[in-house]
């Protein structure tokens, strides 16, 4: 059964499934914080969470999986950062990665290995994303994998734009005395780009399918139009790969993206982030999804050790 704890005045819940333990802050940001697995010899941390978070509020700690909604990455409106233009033509504020990680969630269902919740937008969130909607998020935990699904329901009479994502902080390296150069990431994008300071995508010619994770060109890079929905990374020997599976079709939807990022070369984590589209989707339209009145759309991702 799940067990409770607390962190920064936030209720925490631990799910134990076989040799795996998952730690969540289900109310504040519906934040998955940690995934650890007990191996034969020791305990391995899959998702990184810092031991000392300092004075940082939970929403801005570099660890776990912050939910990126309604838009992933930076938003711009005609060169103005942290803004977007609504379908009605109004310029509205929009923080980087949206607002879900700062909002409260209401738990709607919970079992031994599953938890579901609904976003409770505050007044600031309502002002910057003024639609009638319901965002449902659910995690299902297994011994060697977990899945997370966002479902956006349109309860209004106008179509709603969104381009959400996940920000997985993976512990890397996870072997003693190893470095990032000992690990490879394997993917197959048709397009790659960087996000320019004005919000425009700067296209990149290199579309290699395999990179050392130490490759500096990967940092803050967007890979999209993926040919396969499975992205893998791990030691060069091919053992112990971690797999990110985007959606349930072998070929992801057009413009579904993967972003690779780390705060520094020495950070104890590396972020591999599946998004519904490149950053600033509301302005350039690539990877921008629309939910019609009375309809819903989902974005599902699985992280697996097999």
| C-alpha span between 120 and 128 (Å, rounded) | 14
Answer yes or no: CATH 2.70.98.10 is held by domain 3-304. Answer: yes
For residue 2, the tally of other CB atoms under 10 A from its CB is: 18
| C-alpha span between 65 and 57 (Å, rounded) | 15
- Token code pair at residue 81: 């950062």
Report pTM: 0.95
| C-alpha span between 95 and 83 (Å, rounded) | 7
Taking only the tens of pLDDT, the chain with its 306 residues reads 465 555 666 789 999 999 999 999 999 999 999 999 998 888 999 999 998 887 889 999 999 999 999 999 999 999 999 999 999 999 999 999 999 999 999 999 999 999 999 999 999 999 999 999 999 999 999 999 999 999 999 999 999 999 999 999 999 999 999 999 999 999 999 999 999 999 999 998 777 788 999 999 999 999 999 999 999 999 998 889 999 999 999 999 999 999 999 999 999 999 999 999 999 999 999 999 999 999 999 999 999 999
For the chain, what are the domain ranges?
3-304
Q: Are 67 and 38 in contact (CB under 8 A)?
A: no
């Amino acid at each position: 059964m799940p067990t409770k704890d607390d962190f920064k005045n936030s209720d925490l819940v631990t799910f134990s499934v076989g040799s795996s333990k998952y730690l969540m802050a289900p109310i504040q940001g519906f934040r998955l914080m940690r995934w650890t697995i007990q191996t034969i010899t020791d305990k391995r941390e899959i998702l990184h969470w810092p031991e000392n978070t300092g004075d940082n509020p939970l929403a801005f700690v570099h660890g776990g999986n912050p939910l990126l909604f309604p838009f992933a990455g930076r938003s711009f409106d005609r060169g103005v950062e942290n803004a977007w233009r609504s379908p009605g033509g109004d310029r509205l504020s929009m923080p980087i990665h949206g607002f879900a990680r700062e909002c409260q969630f209401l738990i709607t269902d919970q079992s031994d290995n599953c938890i579901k919740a609904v976003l409770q937008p505050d007044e600031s969130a309502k002002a910057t994303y003024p639609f009638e909607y319901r965002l449902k998020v659910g995690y299902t935990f297994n011994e060697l994998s977990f899945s997370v699904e966002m479902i956006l329901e349109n309860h209004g009479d106008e179509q709603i734009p969104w381009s959400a994502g996940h920000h997985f902080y993976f512990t890397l390296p996870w072997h003693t005395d190893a470095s990032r150069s000992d690990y490879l990431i394997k993917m197959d994008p048709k397009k790659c780009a960087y996000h320019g300071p004005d919000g425009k995508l700067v296209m990149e010619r290199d579309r290699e399918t395999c990179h050392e994770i130490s490759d500096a060109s990967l940092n803050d890079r967007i890979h999209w139009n993926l040919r396969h929905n499975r992205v893998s990374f791990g030691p060069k020997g091919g053992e112990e790969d971690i797999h990110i599976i985007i959606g349930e079709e072998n070929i992801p939807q057009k413009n579904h993206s993967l972003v690779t990022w780390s705060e520094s070369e020495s950070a104890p984590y590396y972020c591999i982030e599946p998004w519904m589209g490149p950053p600033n989707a509301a302005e350039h339209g690539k990877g921008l999804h629309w939910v019609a009145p009375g309809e819903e759309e989902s974005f599902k991702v699985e992280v697996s050790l097999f």
